[in-house]
Structure 1
Amino acid sequence: MADITVQLVSVDRMLWSGQASIVTAQTTEGEIGVLPGHEPLLGQLAENGVVTITPVDGDKIVAAVQGGFLSVTADKVTVLADFAIFANEVDVAASESELSSEDDLTKSRAEAALAAVRRNQN
């Protein structure tokens, strides 16, 4: 089975690195799926996006991302997010209460986090 090296990085931490069979990401141009051997590209991540990684070994990884870029080469996918959090790290009650925040960034991050949680449940 073919695989591709993947790195999921935010400004403040490396979230995940390893081998995967597919990566999907929401970009400003729509959702994209990247398989091994994909054509090189550079995409801008959606502000309230979700990235899903299917590792070669283990369960799928779902993360909420806030801005940044997706870089694809023949053998590597790098997700460079301004902000990212794993779906299983999200405090759902806190995120739901932040939806009514006056601060656009806080509200936007809460929306992304809740989208990741919903995607992770499917």
Structure 2
Amino acid sequence: MSYEETISDVVKVVEAVGAGIMVLGGLGAFMVFLPRALRSATTKGSYELLRRDLGRCILLGLEVLIVADIVRTIIVDPTIESVAVLGIIVLIRILLSFSLEVEMDGVWPWQRWRVAGRGDAVAPADGE
């Protein structure tokens, strides 16, 4: 087995992991959502939590898939055409990730620190 074939197999595994994160994470998010939605005490807000959990799974899976694309382009098929295709794929995935983050958080990433009462919002240090 050659070096390129080995790396190609590794890329396939990384792609499978990325897809698995999205599929299994999505199933897990729905499994957590159902009991929340059925209990009257937690029904309100369960949909927003489902969307947040699904968005996080998709984001993580996309980041893993970007790694696979980069490795494939750099090691397996380093041509100008493949680099251009990689650039387009990465740009599309970055835009998708960015829009998912805005959808989940409800604010632009550079305005997160302004959101009051959120545990994940971090204020910038003085002087920034």
When normalised by structure 2's length, the TM-score is 0.28
- Report the structure number with the largest CA radius of gyration: 2
Structure with the higher helix share, 1 or 2: 2
Structure with the higher strand share, 1 or 2: 1
When normalised by structure 1's length, the TM-score is 0.29
